[in-house]
Amino acid sequence: MTGSEFIAGVFPYITIGLFLLGTGWRFVRWLSLPAHVKWTLYPVPEGIAGQLRYMIKEIFTFETLYRFNRRLWIGTFSLHMAMGGFVLFLILYLAHWSPAFPVRASLWLLLISLIYIIWLRMNDRNLRALSTFEEYFNLAFLAVVAAASLIASAPHGLFSPRAYIIGLLTFRPDGVQLTGDQLLAVFLGGLFLIYLPWSKMVHYVSKYFTYHMINWQKH
């Protein structure tokens, strides 16, 4: 097996496996930690319905940031919506229900949002005071992944990214035809996924705990 065959045909599985493992480990670890002192924050939204409503609203509007830090909200909201859009349009694209254009538009939005946030962190006095290397690194890492994906998904001769991804999904990987830039995108994207659960960006798991298991736990 050549290096490029490995990256195209094996690495994506390792990536997904490590991502799921890392995320699962975080989840189980936090689930195993008791919350002896109930650090409830009142008012607690009424009932499961109220909590769901709060969560859904927060996830789809980022209302907390919207209210208190509008400048960052613009960047963060579009960043997360771009990620959601990317996944959604990718699925539609794979199913032949959508052209490739919205997928690439999502990547552009992602990249622009990231550049904006990096700029904001460097130029807003308070955000600059709070930001460490880690914040910039995470943002830049994702920006590089987005840029690499944009380059890789630009029309390339005859090869279709769709065929490649479908091949992966059906466990018949066929990556021989991937070009160098595409291999790079797969590699960087994979690294990011492996890193994600161990980074501070693990809030896609942590929020469940901080809201449901701490803030909303009644005495």
Partner 1 sequence: MSEIKDETRGADPKYAFRSEAPLPREERVARLLKTLEGILKAGIYDLPLEMYLNTCAKCNNCAEQCQVYQATGDVRDLPAWRSNLLRRVYRKHFTPSGKLFGRLVGAKEVTEEDIDAMVDGFYRCTMCRRCAVNCPLAVDNALITRIGRVILGDLGFAPKNMTGSVKTQLLDGGNTSAIPKAAFIDTLDFLEEELQDEAGVPIPIPRDVEGAEFLFAAPVSDYIMEADTLIGIAKTFHAAKASWTIGTENFDAINYGLFYSDEKLEKILNRLLAEARRLKCKTLVIGECGHATKAGLLFQKVYGRSEYQDIKIKSILEVSHRFLKEGRLRLDPAKNPDLVTYHDPCNLGRGAGLYEEPRELLRAAVMNYIEMTPTRGMNYCCGGGGGLVIAEDLHTWRMEVGGLKKVEQLRATKAKIVVAPCANCKKQLRELIQFHKLDMELAGLHDVLGKALVFEKNP
List, in order, residues 6 or more apart from 124 with CB less than 8 Å away: 71, 72
Q: Which of 61, 64, 123, 160 binds partner 1 (CB under 8 A)?
A: 64
Stretch that binds partner 1, among 9-17, 99-107, 167-175, 197-205 (CB under 8 A): 197-205
Q: Which of 137, 160, 163, 176 binds partner 1 (CB under 8 A)?
A: 137
Residue 2 interacting with partner 1 (CB under 8 A): no
Q: Which of 28, 48, 126, 172 binds partner 1 (CB under 8 A)?
A: 126
The 12-31 contact track toward partner 1, x by CB under 8 A, reads: ------------------x-
Q: CA–CA distance from 9 to each of 1, 22, 93, 146, 158 (Å)? A: 10, 21, 21, 21, 19
Residue type, 189: G
Q: How far is the CB of 35 from partner 1 (least distance, A)?
A: 4
* Token pair for 115: 């550049």
* Token pair for 204: 């896609």
For partner 1, the closer of residues 1 and 33 by Cβ is 33
Q: How far is the CB of 16 from partner 1 (least distance, A)?
A: 22
Closest listed residue to residue 111, CA positions, set 152, 84, 54, 150: 150
Please state, as a whole number, how many other Cβ atoms lie within 10 Å of the Cβ of residue 135. 15
Residue 61 interacting with partner 1 (CB under 8 A): no
Q: How far is the CB of 213 from partner 1 (least distance, A)?
A: 6
Q: Which of 1, 28, 37, 49 binds partner 1 (CB under 8 A)?
A: 37
- What is the phi-psi region of residue 112: left when phi exceeds 0, alpha when psi lies from -120 to 50, beta otherwise? alpha
* Token pair for 177: 């035809």
Residue 51 interacting with partner 1 (CB under 8 A): no
Question: What span, in angstroms and rounded, lies between the C-alpha atoms of 92 and 90?
Answer: 5
**Sites of contact with partner 1 (CB under 8 A):** 30, 33-44, 58, 62, 64-65, 67-69, 72, 76, 125-127, 129-135, 137, 198, 200, 202-203, 206-207, 209-211, 213-215, 219
